[in-house]
Amino acid sequence: MLEPFTVSVPQSELDDLRRRILDTRWPEPAPVPGRQQGFPLAELRRLAAYWADGYDWRRLESELARHPQYRTEIDGLDIHFLHRRSPDPEAIPLLLSHGWPGSFLEFLDVIEPLGETFHVVCPSLPGYGFSDRPTEPGWDIHRIAAAWIELMDRLGYRRFGAAGSDWGTSVSTMIAARAPERVIGIHLIPPLVAPDRSRPFTAAEQQAVDDLAERSRTGSAYGELHATRPQTLGYALTDSPVGLCAWIAEKYREWVDPAGPGVGDDRLLDTVTLYWLTRTAVSSARLYWESIAEVSRWFTEATADLIMVPTGASVFPAEVPRPSRRWAERRFGDLRHWGEPPVGGHFAALEVPESYVAELRASFATLLGRS
């Protein structure tokens, strides 16, 4: 059963959030410049001041009201999703999956243009946003993939396309592995694959390997905590809105393309506020505890979970990792579209929505032999 859902947060929740922001006990600034020790104090204080006295959650609620949303129980959890049908009855059903520290809000700027080409279904991962928080272990990428297939069944979509980034890449890949007969094609940003070390790297491949090693050395601590101590981390992130903001905002500042427009304060705070209001800091982090070991294996095993459904991929220039096409072809046996847009990073749907839409349209046109 599909229950219509409207986002309407009590004013008391927003008042409590503002009070907590204003009551923040601040640390001293880092003794070294820049981001060497984390998110800069001055930048966070500016962002927090705007969050308390300039940001408007009600503006987001009005924006969300333009898109039909629902909740439905699948495998014991109520799953929230946005569903925008295209005016074209022949449109392809497209399942969009997000990751961390994102949410279904990542796709707000692309839903309407994508809706000209696709019937768009955008669920919130279990433990994220307005989906229920799991109360038992086992909600890994395989179980989520099964839930998403059930969701598409309930919407009457026998065959569909699946696309995603971050955790959404892993979930979309598992949908293709689990039910290839159901999938028209998948689009991954980026595909997760192991480097091909049987041949010398090109200059671009070597740079991609070096950038991933640097990210692992200087920017992977968050993932280690999510994967090993999500509960301990969750106490701080659930109690301190500014602590939560720093944890998430750091990624929205560091993972974007410095050559592009980045992600504005309002869109960033939309996501941070969603995590705060839904109390999903710890439940979202638990997905790392459930699945990061398996996904990490994909970076070392060339043919891990070989996928043979039609596949498209986009690799944005500031993304990490950035596999090459020849690496991806070893795991994705029917790779038909490969896009390398000139600008964009990890949050491409927010940073460069027009480019993101163009990539998905071109990809599925190729997957269906229409290009």
Q: What six digits make up the tokens of 155?
A: 């919407």
Q: What are the tens digits of pLDDT across the range 84-132?
A: 999 998 999 999 999 999 999 999 999 999 999 999 999 999 999 999 9
Q: 28 pLDDT band (50/70/90 cuts)?
A: very high
Residue 255 Cα to chain centre, angstroms: 12
Q: Is 70 exceeded by the pLDDT of residue 61? A: yes
Q: Is 60 exceeded by the pLDDT of residue 371? A: no
Q: Measured between alpha carbons, how far is 280 from 282 in angstroms, rounded to an integer? A: 6
Residue 188: C-alpha distances to residues 45, 164, 181, 322 (Å): 36, 6, 18, 12
- Whether 30 maps to a domain, the answer reads no
- Whether 27 maps to a domain, the answer reads no
Q: 72 pLDDT band (50/70/90 cuts)?
A: very high
Provide the pairing of β-strand 92-97 with 69-74.
Answer: unpaired
pLDDT at 88: 93
- Whether 8 maps to a domain, the answer reads yes
Q: 368 pLDDT band (50/70/90 cuts)?
A: confident
- Whether 31 maps to a domain, the answer reads no
Identify the CATH number of the domain in which residue 304 sits: 3.40.50.1820
- Whether 202 maps to a domain, the answer reads yes
**321 in the Ramachandran plot: left (φ > 0), alpha (ψ -120 to 50) or beta?**
beta
| Number of domains, the chain | 1
pLDDT at 302: 66
Query: Domain range holding 65?
Result: 3-22+38-367
- Whether 158 maps to a domain, the answer reads yes
Q: What are the tens digits of pLDDT across the range 281-327?
A: 999 999 999 999 999 988 887 666 799 999 999 999 999 999 999 99
Q: 257 pLDDT band (50/70/90 cuts)?
A: very high
Query: What dihedral angle (degrees, nearest 10) is formed by the CA atoms of 218, 222, 224, 227?
Result: -160
Mean pLDDT of the chain: 96
Q: Measured between alpha carbons, how far is 265 from 14 in angstroms, rounded to an integer? A: 18
